[in-house]
Amino acid sequence: MRLLVCENYEEMSLRAAEILASQVRLKPRCVLGLATGSTPVGAYERLVEMHRQGSLDFSQVTTVNLDEYKGLGGENDQSYVFFMRANLFDGAEIPPEHTHFPDGTDPDSVRACRLYEEALAAAGRQDLQLLGLGRNGHIGFNEPGDAFVPGVHCVDLTPSTIDANKRFFASEEEVPRQAYTMGMRAIFAARRILLIASGKDKAEAVKRSFFGPVTPKVPASILQLHPDVTVIVDQEAYSECR
Protein backbone atom coordinates (compact mmCIF):
# COMPACT_ATOMS: atom_id res chain seq x y z
CA MET A 1 0.00 0.00 0.00
CA ARG A 2 1.24 3.48 -0.85
CA LEU A 3 0.09 6.28 1.46
CA LEU A 4 0.27 9.87 0.36
CA VAL A 5 -0.52 12.57 2.90
CA CYS A 6 -1.53 15.86 1.28
CA GLU A 7 -1.87 19.26 2.84
CA ASN A 8 -5.59 19.65 2.16
CA TYR A 9 -8.63 18.59 0.12
CA GLU A 10 -7.50 20.53 -2.98
CA GLU A 11 -4.11 18.84 -3.12
CA MET A 12 -5.69 15.40 -2.49
CA SER A 13 -8.15 16.02 -5.33
CA LEU A 14 -5.44 17.12 -7.74
CA ARG A 15 -3.26 14.08 -6.99
CA ALA A 16 -6.22 11.73 -7.41
CA ALA A 17 -7.23 13.39 -10.69
CA GLU A 18 -3.67 13.05 -12.01
CA ILE A 19 -3.70 9.31 -11.33
CA LEU A 20 -7.11 8.86 -12.97
CA ALA A 21 -6.07 11.00 -15.94
CA SER A 22 -2.85 9.08 -16.51
CA GLN A 23 -4.82 5.83 -16.48
CA VAL A 24 -7.08 7.16 -19.25
CA ARG A 25 -4.17 8.58 -21.27
CA LEU A 26 -2.10 5.39 -21.08
CA LYS A 27 -5.05 3.12 -21.86
CA PRO A 28 -7.90 5.05 -23.50
CA ARG A 29 -10.09 1.94 -23.65
CA CYS A 30 -9.92 1.34 -19.90
CA VAL A 31 -12.49 0.38 -17.27
CA LEU A 32 -12.78 2.87 -14.42
CA GLY A 33 -14.55 1.94 -11.19
CA LEU A 34 -16.06 5.13 -9.79
CA ALA A 35 -17.33 6.37 -6.45
CA THR A 36 -19.83 8.94 -5.27
CA GLY A 37 -20.01 11.04 -2.10
CA SER A 38 -18.53 14.47 -1.48
CA THR A 39 -14.90 13.28 -1.41
CA PRO A 40 -14.37 12.68 -5.16
CA VAL A 41 -16.13 15.86 -6.30
CA GLY A 42 -12.88 17.89 -6.43
CA ALA A 43 -11.07 15.19 -8.41
CA TYR A 44 -13.97 14.97 -10.86
CA GLU A 45 -13.86 18.77 -11.30
CA ARG A 46 -10.17 18.57 -12.23
CA LEU A 47 -10.90 15.79 -14.74
CA VAL A 48 -13.67 17.82 -16.36
CA GLU A 49 -11.26 20.80 -16.58
CA MET A 50 -8.62 18.62 -18.27
CA HIS A 51 -11.24 17.38 -20.73
CA ARG A 52 -12.42 20.92 -21.51
CA GLN A 53 -8.84 22.01 -22.11
CA GLY A 54 -8.54 19.20 -24.63
CA SER A 55 -5.96 17.14 -22.76
CA LEU A 56 -8.16 14.21 -21.77
CA ASP A 57 -10.48 12.10 -23.93
CA PHE A 58 -12.98 9.83 -22.20
CA SER A 59 -14.79 8.67 -25.33
CA GLN A 60 -13.54 5.08 -25.09
CA VAL A 61 -13.70 4.70 -21.32
CA THR A 62 -16.14 2.28 -19.66
CA THR A 63 -17.25 3.07 -16.12
CA VAL A 64 -18.74 0.89 -13.40
CA ASN A 65 -20.07 2.61 -10.30
CA LEU A 66 -19.93 1.14 -6.84
CA ASP A 67 -23.49 1.53 -5.74
CA GLU A 68 -26.97 3.03 -5.99
CA TYR A 69 -29.76 3.72 -3.52
CA LYS A 70 -32.60 1.22 -3.79
CA GLY A 71 -35.72 3.07 -4.89
CA LEU A 72 -34.04 5.99 -6.67
CA GLY A 73 -33.93 6.38 -10.45
CA GLY A 74 -31.60 8.57 -12.51
CA GLU A 75 -34.09 11.46 -12.61
CA ASN A 76 -33.93 11.76 -8.80
CA ASP A 77 -31.26 14.33 -7.89
CA GLN A 78 -30.15 12.21 -4.92
CA SER A 79 -29.49 9.13 -7.05
CA TYR A 80 -25.91 8.24 -7.83
CA VAL A 81 -26.71 8.15 -11.55
CA PHE A 82 -27.74 11.82 -11.29
CA PHE A 83 -24.65 12.62 -9.19
CA MET A 84 -22.27 11.08 -11.70
CA ARG A 85 -23.86 12.87 -14.64
CA ALA A 86 -23.75 16.19 -12.85
CA ASN A 87 -20.23 15.85 -11.47
CA LEU A 88 -18.39 13.96 -14.21
CA PHE A 89 -20.15 12.26 -17.09
CA ASP A 90 -21.76 15.31 -18.71
CA GLY A 91 -18.69 17.55 -18.34
CA ALA A 92 -16.23 14.87 -19.42
CA GLU A 93 -18.56 13.70 -22.22
CA ILE A 94 -18.56 10.07 -21.14
CA PRO A 95 -21.21 8.37 -23.31
CA PRO A 96 -24.13 7.21 -21.09
CA GLU A 97 -24.06 3.79 -22.76
CA HIS A 98 -20.50 3.31 -21.46
CA THR A 99 -21.59 3.82 -17.83
CA HIS A 100 -22.97 1.17 -15.48
CA PHE A 101 -24.85 1.22 -12.17
CA PRO A 102 -27.01 -1.16 -10.18
CA ASP A 103 -30.62 -0.42 -11.15
CA GLY A 104 -32.00 1.44 -8.14
CA THR A 105 -35.50 1.35 -9.62
CA ASP A 106 -35.66 -2.46 -9.57
CA PRO A 107 -37.65 -3.50 -6.48
CA ASP A 108 -36.53 -7.10 -6.95
CA SER A 109 -33.21 -7.17 -5.08
CA VAL A 110 -32.21 -10.62 -6.28
CA ARG A 111 -32.70 -9.67 -9.92
CA ALA A 112 -31.06 -6.24 -9.54
CA CYS A 113 -27.97 -7.78 -7.95
CA ARG A 114 -27.72 -10.57 -10.53
CA LEU A 115 -28.03 -8.11 -13.41
CA TYR A 116 -25.35 -5.84 -12.00
CA GLU A 117 -23.04 -8.80 -11.41
CA GLU A 118 -23.52 -9.68 -15.09
CA ALA A 119 -22.89 -6.10 -16.16
CA LEU A 120 -19.65 -6.05 -14.17
CA ALA A 121 -18.53 -9.33 -15.74
CA ALA A 122 -19.31 -7.98 -19.22
CA ALA A 123 -17.41 -4.74 -18.58
CA GLY A 124 -14.33 -6.65 -17.41
CA ARG A 125 -11.95 -5.96 -14.53
CA GLN A 126 -11.49 -2.37 -13.51
CA ASP A 127 -8.09 -1.03 -14.52
CA LEU A 128 -8.46 1.47 -11.72
CA GLN A 129 -11.06 1.56 -8.93
CA LEU A 130 -11.62 4.85 -7.12
CA LEU A 131 -12.99 4.58 -3.58
CA GLY A 132 -14.12 6.97 -0.88
CA LEU A 133 -14.34 5.90 2.75
CA GLY A 134 -17.37 5.87 5.04
CA ARG A 135 -17.02 7.20 8.59
CA ASN A 136 -17.52 3.61 9.74
CA GLY A 137 -14.91 2.28 7.30
CA HIS A 138 -17.35 1.25 4.59
CA ILE A 139 -16.37 1.14 0.91
CA GLY A 140 -19.13 1.43 -1.66
CA PHE A 141 -21.99 0.48 0.63
CA ASN A 142 -20.20 -2.55 2.11
CA GLU A 143 -21.16 -1.87 5.70
CA PRO A 144 -19.41 -3.32 8.78
CA GLY A 145 -20.56 -6.86 9.53
CA ASP A 146 -19.49 -10.36 10.47
CA ALA A 147 -18.13 -11.26 7.03
CA PHE A 148 -16.95 -9.59 3.84
CA VAL A 149 -19.73 -10.04 1.26
CA PRO A 150 -18.25 -11.13 -2.10
CA GLY A 151 -21.05 -10.42 -4.59
CA VAL A 152 -23.30 -7.50 -5.50
CA HIS A 153 -25.84 -7.27 -2.69
CA CYS A 154 -28.67 -5.26 -1.23
CA VAL A 155 -27.62 -3.59 2.02
CA ASP A 156 -29.54 -2.25 4.97
CA LEU A 157 -27.74 1.02 5.58
CA THR A 158 -26.40 1.49 9.10
CA PRO A 159 -27.61 4.34 11.32
CA SER A 160 -24.11 5.87 11.00
CA THR A 161 -24.36 5.92 7.18
CA ILE A 162 -27.92 7.28 7.21
CA ASP A 163 -26.74 9.99 9.58
CA ALA A 164 -23.69 10.81 7.43
CA ASN A 165 -25.69 10.95 4.19
CA LYS A 166 -28.73 12.86 5.47
CA ARG A 167 -26.95 16.13 4.66
CA PHE A 168 -27.74 15.55 0.99
CA PHE A 169 -31.48 15.07 1.61
CA ALA A 170 -34.24 17.44 2.78
CA SER A 171 -34.70 15.34 5.92
CA GLU A 172 -33.37 12.15 7.48
CA GLU A 173 -36.67 10.38 6.67
CA GLU A 174 -35.94 10.82 2.96
CA VAL A 175 -32.62 8.92 3.07
CA PRO A 176 -33.28 5.51 1.50
CA ARG A 177 -32.78 2.69 4.00
CA GLN A 178 -31.34 0.26 1.47
CA ALA A 179 -28.84 0.32 -1.37
CA TYR A 180 -27.36 -1.99 -3.97
CA THR A 181 -23.59 -2.23 -3.85
CA MET A 182 -20.71 -3.88 -5.60
CA GLY A 183 -19.32 -6.57 -3.32
CA MET A 184 -15.77 -7.16 -2.22
CA ARG A 185 -14.96 -9.61 -5.02
CA ALA A 186 -15.49 -7.02 -7.75
CA ILE A 187 -13.74 -4.28 -5.79
CA PHE A 188 -10.81 -6.58 -5.13
CA ALA A 189 -10.66 -7.66 -8.79
CA ALA A 190 -9.52 -4.16 -9.78
CA ARG A 191 -5.96 -4.05 -11.04
CA ARG A 192 -5.29 -0.87 -9.09
CA ILE A 193 -7.22 0.77 -6.28
CA LEU A 194 -7.12 4.45 -5.34
CA LEU A 195 -8.81 5.41 -2.05
CA ILE A 196 -9.22 9.04 -1.06
CA ALA A 197 -10.27 10.46 2.31
CA SER A 198 -10.45 14.00 3.60
CA GLY A 199 -11.35 15.73 6.85
CA LYS A 200 -11.39 15.05 10.57
CA ASP A 201 -14.51 12.90 10.48
CA LYS A 202 -12.58 10.30 8.45
CA ALA A 203 -9.51 10.23 10.73
CA GLU A 204 -10.71 7.33 12.88
CA ALA A 205 -11.78 5.30 9.82
CA VAL A 206 -8.40 5.87 8.12
CA LYS A 207 -6.57 4.68 11.23
CA ARG A 208 -8.75 1.60 11.69
CA SER A 209 -8.71 0.71 7.98
CA PHE A 210 -4.99 0.92 7.31
CA PHE A 211 -3.27 0.66 10.69
CA GLY A 212 -5.43 -1.96 12.39
CA PRO A 213 -6.36 -5.60 11.88
CA VAL A 214 -8.09 -6.79 8.69
CA THR A 215 -11.68 -7.37 9.77
CA PRO A 216 -15.16 -7.17 8.25
CA LYS A 217 -16.02 -4.84 11.14
CA VAL A 218 -13.94 -2.30 9.17
CA PRO A 219 -14.67 -3.17 5.53
CA ALA A 220 -11.89 -1.02 4.01
CA SER A 221 -9.29 -2.93 6.06
CA ILE A 222 -9.44 -5.71 3.44
CA LEU A 223 -7.57 -3.36 1.11
CA GLN A 224 -4.42 -4.04 3.14
CA LEU A 225 -4.36 -7.41 1.32
CA HIS A 226 -4.66 -6.00 -2.23
CA PRO A 227 -1.38 -5.85 -4.17
CA ASP A 228 -1.82 -2.36 -5.66
CA VAL A 229 -3.52 0.19 -3.43
CA THR A 230 -2.79 3.90 -3.21
CA VAL A 231 -4.36 5.84 -0.34
CA ILE A 232 -4.42 9.62 -0.59
CA VAL A 233 -5.50 11.49 2.52
CA ASP A 234 -5.25 15.04 3.72
CA GLN A 235 -3.66 16.13 7.00
CA GLU A 236 -6.96 16.05 8.88
CA ALA A 237 -7.86 12.55 7.74
CA TYR A 238 -4.33 11.44 8.71
CA SER A 239 -4.44 13.14 12.13
CA GLU A 240 -5.21 9.97 14.17
CA CYS A 241 -2.34 8.03 12.54
CA ARG A 242 0.54 10.17 13.80
- The residues binding ligand GLP (CB under 6 A) are 35-39, 66-67, 132-134, 140-141, 161, 165
For the CB of residue 211, give the shortest distance to ligand GLP in the complex, in Å: 19
Contact 130, 16 (CB under 8 A): yes
For the CB of residue 241, give the shortest distance to ligand GLP in the complex, in Å: 18
Contact 133, 12 (CB under 8 A): no
Spell out the residues 6+ positions from residue 182 whose beta carbon is closer than 8 angstroms to its own.
33, 64, 65, 66, 67, 102, 116, 120, 140, 152
Active-site annotation holder among 87, 136, 142, 165: 136
Type of residue found at 165: N
136 is annotated as an active-site residue: yes
The closest of 83, 10, 4 to 49, measured between CA atoms, is 10
100 is annotated as an active-site residue: no
Looking at the Cβ atoms of 23 and 39, the one nearer to ligand GLP is: 39
**What is the C-alpha radius of gyration for the chain, rounded to an integer number of angstroms?**
17
67 is annotated as an active-site residue: yes
Active-site annotation holder among 51, 100, 138, 153: 138
For the CB of residue 60, give the shortest distance to ligand GLP in the complex, in Å: 25
Active-site annotation holder among 51, 65, 67, 165: 67
Looking at the Cβ atoms of 93 and 201, the one nearer to ligand GLP is: 201
For the CB of residue 82, give the shortest distance to ligand GLP in the complex, in Å: 14
For the CB of residue 181, give the shortest distance to ligand GLP in the complex, in Å: 7
The closest of 114, 131, 51 to 88, measured between CA atoms, is 51
Looking at the Cβ atoms of 105 and 158, the one nearer to ligand GLP is: 158
51 is annotated as an active-site residue: no
Closest residue to ligand GLP using C-beta atoms: 132
CA distance 5 to 70: 35
Bridge partner residues of 3 (DSSP): 231
Strand pairing class (178-181; 99-100)? unpaired
Looking at the Cβ atoms of 50 and 134, the one nearer to ligand GLP is: 134
Tell me the catalytic residues.
67, 136, 138, 143
